[in-house]
Amino acid sequence: MIGRPGPLTIGIDIGGTKVLGGVVDSFGTVLTSQRRLTPGRSVRDVEDTIVELVDTLSAQYDVAAVGVGAAGFVDAARATVLFSPHLAWRDEPLRAALMERIAVPVVVDNDANTAALAECRFGAGVGHRYVLCITLGTGIGGALVIDNKVFRGQNGMAGEFGHMQVVPDGHRCECGNRGCWEQYASGNALVRDARELVLADSPVAHDLKARVDGDVSRLTGPLVTEAAQAGDPLAVELLADIGTWLGVGLAGMTAAFDPSAIIVGGGVSAAGDLLLGPTRQAFARTLVGRGHRVEPSIVGAALGPDAGFVGAADMARSAARRSRRRRRRRERRPLFSR
């Protein structure tokens, strides 16, 4: 990318299990990053973790602003987390709370929005005007990006694709409903199904059971992916199930939005073609108008787990520029007027 370098900013990505933070330059380059575990569901503990990360990172670099990607519904003003299925935020004025403790401008957005923006600005979406981004982690997040701008909807809550109902009276979701898409195509779904088979002492689960010495609490999504990559048939099958549900859902999303590219990111996407192969097959079988339309490419995210905080930092850079412009206007304003 060509252009004048902008200020350094910090991005923070808050997920259901981990908090990632990093210092990012205007070209999307990560200068340094750190990781923390998400401290339970406590609102104050999560806020303390954000502030501690910002303090640690800003001690090493001169930063102009902080962007936070939050796992939840964020209002149109990008200030309040209205609801989070996986954390305790309920109408939480997160930006105001952080600005009382952080000396530079703060911007808050949904974590899937920040990841999508990063991929479109610096990653797999470069060169595409209409991009559908899906993040597979604890749940499913997503965003539609048009000309490098995230579509947020009337209330700032667009993109919660994971809570579309795909199975009436299906698995109960943390959001309170049943049969949500993320209950069938997410990290939680992958771990739930693996644990059920291990607990049932299924003969096909002997490899996964051995990997955790029979302790299902140690069975995680990355461990299932590792087993699949090592050739365990059950782990391969479980990832294929996730991929199939993902492909069916993406076909419906394509019927609605007609993107030119679909980017799949998040922790589960680390499985690569073990996930995306079945996804593409199910997508091709399910897409309306197949054979008579240009189909979007389905690709893995290029920025990996950094995407969320890279996008948050990029949003913060815009906030820093706006803050500087306002300050300059105030400085040019005459003290007295006739």
The pTM of the full predicted model, rounded to 2 decimals, is 0.85
Contact 17, 139 (CB under 8 A): no
Please give the pLDDT value at position 78.
87
The pLDDT tens digits of the residues spanning 302-311 come to 998 899 999 9
Residue 213 has pLDDT above 80, yes or no: yes
Residue 331 sits at the vertex; the CA angle it makes with 329 and 333, to the nearest 5 degrees, is 70
Residue 172 has pLDDT above 90, yes or no: yes
Q: Name the residue ranges covered by the structural domains of the chain.
A: 9-116+304-331, 127-300
Domains 9-116+304-331 and 127-300 share a fold: yes
Place of tokens 């990012």: 24
Place of tokens 């569901």: 41
Q: Which residues neighbour 42 within 8 Å (Cβ) at sequence distance 6 or greater?
A: 88
Q: What is the CATH number of domain 9-116+304-331?
A: 3.30.420.40
Residue 71 has pLDDT above 60, yes or no: yes
Mean per-residue pLDDT of the chain: 91
Please give the pLDDT value at position 324.
62
Class of domain 127-300: alpha beta
Q: Residue 151 burial (CB < 10 Å; 0-12/13-18/19+)? A: middle
For residues 246 and 223, what is the distance between their CA atoms, to the nearest angstrom? 20
Q: Rounded to whole angstroms, what are the CA distances from 204 to 208, 220, 242?
A: 9, 17, 18
Residue 65 sits at the vertex; the CA angle it makes with 85 and 147, to the nearest 5 degrees, is 70
Please give the pLDDT value at position 322.
66
Residue 42 has pLDDT above 90, yes or no: no
Residue 331 has pLDDT above 70, yes or no: no
DSSP designation for 165: B
Mean pLDDT of 73-99: 90
- The beta-carbon contacts of 74-77 under 8 Å, at least 24 apart in sequence, are 74/108, 74/109, 74/110, 74/113, 74/156, 74/157, 75/155, 75/156, 75/157, 76/152, 76/154, 76/155, 76/156, 77/156
pLDDT band of 321, cuts 50, 70, 90: confident
pLDDT band of 328, cuts 50, 70, 90: low
Give me the phi and psi of 285, to 5 degrees please: -75, -25
Task: Choose among 47, 57, 53, 4: nearest CA to 27.
Answer: 4
Residue 264 has pLDDT above 50, yes or no: yes
